[in-house]
Structure 1
Amino acid sequence: MNSIVVTGCNRGLGLGLVRSLVGRQDPPRTLIATCRDPDKAQELREIAEKHRNVHILSLNVRNYDSFKDFATQVSEIVKDDGLNVLFNNAGVSPKYTRINYVKVDQLLETFQTNTVAPIMLTKALLPLIKKASEKNAGLKMSCKRAAIINMSSILGSIESNKDGGLYPYKCSKAALNMATASLALDLKKDDVLVVSLHPGWVKTDMGGNNAPLGVDTSTESLVDLLHDMGPAHNGGFYQWDGKQLPW
């Protein structure tokens, strides 16, 4: 892929995705990594200092009014080539999630970050994504042509829900999965690949220390999957190792 935007790159999976992308033998020509405060993202800035293809842009995904200006900044970087991949990675998970403890503000804030933000950021960057698809019309539907990747979770699978609880996170990710399905249908005519991915249970601030997967294991596999996906994956839900998941 020539270009990719990854949101939420100051730590965890977002930072891991940046490390995995720049560490490949065929790294993207342009990697735009976002975070709310670049001054506090020391490790990300160190990566950018070593890799000239990495551009750090400030983005608060809940500040929807900033998306137009952000799209302009991305356009100035990718120019006439458009944007090959938008990876909506930024997300949150509230601490209290059982029905007796869940609060309205937890639900609203989680939906704003995990569902509303990916949809509205996709809308803002869609002209650049379609431009990339048109620019690479000779390629099949893939991340090399144009793609929107939503970082979901197995916890957003209705069929796999056996434990209840986790209302803000589970509901927001189930809604994100629906957005993936709708976008895949709406953008099929433009040959834009749209997929939901589950990174696995990963050792991050969100996943906790008991998680079985390390960040690098998850993100390196996810990046491999990005390169392997094609038309058959469009509108699907897959985990880090390529296994298809139930909605």
Structure 2
Amino acid sequence: MLRTFRELNSLAQQHSNLHILQIDLKDIDKYDQFVGQVESIVQDNGLNVLFNNAGISPKSTRLGFVKGDDLVETFVTNTVAPIMLTKALVPLLKKAAEVNASVPIGPQKACIVNMSSILGSIEANSDGGLYAYRTSKSALNAATKSMSIDLKPNNIMAVVLHPGWVRTDMGGSKAPLSVEQSCAKMVQTVMGLSDVHNGTFLQYDGKQLQW
């Protein structure tokens, strides 16, 4: 975590348009304060893209080892936080959509991207286990679908994105994708989003996945 902060601070020193804001996503009572900080940066332009990325996965993966505390903590981080933060930031997303009224629906207007996982796919689950992680991501998928419907009248779109199996602390060293490979493809996919993608479950490279 400290290494990540150092890297971010280094980038911020090189790019004046990069702003680093810190928030504990489990502290929902602080969301309004965070929104105020974001608004002070984006001002009348609003927020074009909200990327909900935070996620955890406990070690108690099999049914016999599942712990209630792990389930609750995982749901708060992986499902509750993205829903509540999106709710808090909707006014800024609406503002961006209004400011960019002449722009087609997509990231140049207003877009919510919720980072999920193929492990949240019910159809693709052939291995079982991972109760906390799978169910929290399935719930996030369902929430994103609702967002895509509820916010469509405001010209705000919402999609679910699977980053692939990536070599991170969570993905492990055997994962086939590097962080750079996954991120480059995800940026390309997000920038190519349009109205036809609203409410879909996409892989990092743009392939549509099964719910």
- 1:198 pairs with one of 130, 137, 162: 162
Structure with the higher helix share, 1 or 2: 2
Aligned counterparts of 1:181 and 1:229: Cα–Cα separation in 2: 15
Say whether residues 1:143 and 2:95 are aligned partners: no
Say whether residues 1:73 and 2:43 are aligned partners: no
The C-alpha deviation readout for 1:45-70, integer Å capped at 9, x for no partner, is 11111111110011111110110000
Equivalent position SS for 2:78: helix
Structure 1 unaligned spans of 5+: 1-9, 11-37
TM-score by length of 2: 0.98
What's the offset of the Cα at 1:122?
0.3
TM-score by length of 1: 0.84
Structure with the higher strand share, 1 or 2: 1
- 1:131 pairs with one of 64, 89, 95: 95
Equivalent position SS for 2:51: strand
Aligned counterparts of 1:243 and 1:141: Cα–Cα separation in 2: 19
The residue type paired with residue 65 of structure 1 is D
Aligned counterparts of 2:196 and 2:132: Cα–Cα separation in 1: 31
Aligned counterparts of 2:104 and 2:96: Cα–Cα separation in 1: 12
The C-alpha deviation readout for 1:68-121, integer Å capped at 9, x for no partner, is 000000001000010001000011111121000010000000000000000000
- The aligned length equals 211
Aligned counterparts of 2:124 and 2:49: Cα–Cα separation in 1: 28
Q: Where has structure 1 moved over 4 Å in runs of 4 or more?
A: none
The C-alpha deviation readout for 1:205-224, integer Å capped at 9, x for no partner, is 00000100000000010001
The C-alpha deviation readout for 1:111-138, integer Å capped at 9, x for no partner, is 0000000000001100000000011010
Aligned counterparts of 1:226 and 1:53: Cα–Cα separation in 2: 20
- 1:232 pairs with one of 189, 192, 196: 196
1:11-160 matches, cutoff 5 A: 41-160=5-124
Percent identity between the aligned chains? 55
Structure 2 unaligned spans of 5+: none
Cα RMSD after superposing both structures: 1.1
What's the offset of the Cα at 1:226?
1.0
